[in-house]
Amino acid sequence: MQDPRISELAQQLVRYSTKIKKGEKVLLHLIDVPDELGIALIREVRAKKGIPVLKLDHGRLSREMSMAASDDQYELIAKHQLAEMKDMDAYIAIRGSHNICETSDVPAAKMKTVMKHMRKVMNHRVDKTRWCVLRWPHPAMAQQAGMSTEAFEEFYFNVCLLDYKSMLPAMNALKRLMEKTDHVQIKNEGTDLEFSIKDIPAVVCGGHYNIPDGEVFTAPIKDSVEGVITHNAPTVYQGIPFDNIRLEFKKGKIVKADAGSQTKELNKILDSDPGARYIGEFALGFNPQIMEPMRDILFDEKIAGSFHFTPGQAYEEADNGNRSQVHWDMVTIQRKDYGGGEIYFDGKLIRKDGVFLPKSLHGLNY
């Protein structure tokens, strides 16, 4: 018997997140997920009279393709995948992971080759289609979160099926506030950072792009970032785990980067191209169901009382002009249980210890 929450999730993705309409072509990209989920999504797209297109991937096979990646190989792959993406109106990706470190031993040069060519496919998907991306709760994810499989599945569905619509008024209030703001200052242990977001749009994420969701993002003016930031949430990028990343900025550029034993790997990624040492996104996270990091960015960037600062590519909707094959959301949690912290907009304290102070934003507090 199929878990009824799978059908509920499929309905949310098709009817709310991507709003599929009659005749629209929808690419369903499934990676290491059960057939039942794919069947539910196909049926939901058909119920809305859309046209489902199915693409299946597997983590270990993707690793093998990347291990000896060449320009000829990935130029060809990107050419065909871009043509496919250009033919789509919407994209729904559900990504399982038996092992979050599956690509950790792919040589950095090979990963750079993959990202160089595949970035154009990702950019078109993000900028030109209605899209939604989410994880699938494998036991490996439960292990990352330090939870039993059953408890994690319950957490997963509670988070993914959150009533995002009810949070939209407060999200829109935060968007308006950010779009009126020039100077931002962030302070917490190991962090004293300032930058400008003047005249750059802010974007509400209320269950339409990623599931789980719960953030509003913008971008700093590219050369305005000054100071130091320390990220207290663990992260994984290109299959490599990192902890306690510390970055120093001058005129927008990361001039020093440290991650303990992984400092060398961190700097290899930041040296992928010139844009990787500049910031492409600044976002405030506030999903009330997500309290602890689990090295999965689709969850961690939405943690209640967090913000993330992103070396690399800027989004077209909030564009500061930065271009890179890298887009790495690095998270800092500012709740009291993580040491606290403050965020100021034009000198006014907006959030303290992870709690929004303006009345119009109280609907975003955990």
Last residue of a domain, one of 160, 181, 198: 160
| pLDDT, tens only, 216-236 | 999 999 999 999 999 999 999
Contact 50, 22 (CB under 8 A): yes
What is the average pLDDT across 140-164? 89
Domain identity same for 135 and 247? no
Residue 1: which pLDDT band, with cuts at 50, 70 and 90? low
The domain in which residue 296 lies consists of: 164-364
Domain identity same for 143 and 244? no
Residue 205: which pLDDT band, with cuts at 50, 70 and 90? very high
pTM of the model: 0.81
| pLDDT, tens only, 298-326 | 899 999 999 999 999 999 899 999 999 99
Chain mean pLDDT for the chain: 95
| Res. 100: pLDDT tops 80 | no
Bridge pairing between strands 25-31 and 90-95: parallel
Structure tokens given for 249: 């900025």
Domain identity same for 355 and 286? yes
Contact 246, 268 (CB under 8 A): no
What is the average pLDDT across 256-263? 97
> What's the pLDDT score for residue 146?
86
Contact 259, 237 (CB under 8 A): no
| Res. 111: pLDDT tops 70 | yes
Domain identity same for 156 and 219? no
Last residue of a domain, one of 114, 132, 160: 160
Domain identity same for 238 and 134? no
Residue 254: which pLDDT band, with cuts at 50, 70 and 90? very high
> What's the pLDDT score for residue 209?
83
CA distance 118 to 339: 38
Number of domains the chain is built from: 2
Last residue of a domain, one of 133, 160, 187: 160
> What's the pLDDT score for residue 245?
98
